[in-house]
Amino acid sequence: MIQKYMRAFAVTATLTLMQPASAMVGGGGAPSPAVAGAIVTIVGSHGTSCTGALIARDIVLTAAHCVAPSTTYKVVDYTSKPPRLLDIRRTATHPRFNMQNLLAHRATADVALLQLSAPLSKSPIKLSGALMPITVGQRLTVVGMGVAVRGDGRSGGVARAASLSVTGRPGTLQIRLVDPATNNARAGRGACTGDSGAPAFLDSNGGSVIVGVVSWSTGPNNASGCGGLTGVTPLALYRDWILKTARSWGAGIQ
Same domain for 102 and 41: yes
Same domain for 176 and 79: no
Same domain for 154 and 134: yes
| Per-residue pLDDT tens digits for 74-115 | 999 877 778 889 999 999 999 999 999 988 878 999 999 999
| Per-residue pLDDT tens digits for 217-240 | 888 998 888 889 999 999 999 999
User: What's the pLDDT at 152?
Assistant: 59
Same domain for 223 and 146: yes
| Per-residue pLDDT tens digits for 177-225 | 999 999 999 988 888 888 899 999 997 766 789 999 999 988 899 888 8
pLDDT higher for 174 or 13? Answer: 174
Same domain for 10 and 119: yes
Asked, for residue 69, whether it belongs to a domain, the answer is yes
Same domain for 92 and 69: yes
The structural domain count of the chain equals 2
Asked, for residue 27, whether it belongs to a domain, the answer is no
Residue 119: count of CB within 10 angstroms of its CB: 15
pLDDT higher for 33 or 143? Answer: 143
Same domain for 94 and 53: yes
Same domain for 243 and 117: yes
Same domain for 213 and 196: yes
Question: Which pTM value belongs to this model?
Answer: 0.88
Same domain for 14 and 115: yes
Mean pLDDT, residues 143-160: 74
Same domain for 100 and 174: no
Q: Are 170 and 134 in contact (CB under 8 A)?
A: yes
CATH number at residue 93: 2.40.10.10
| Per-residue pLDDT tens digits for 17-69 | 333 333 345 556 778 877 888 999 999 988 889 999 999 999 999 999 999 98
The range of the structural domain enclosing residue 212 comes to 127-234
User: What's the pLDDT at 89?
Assistant: 96
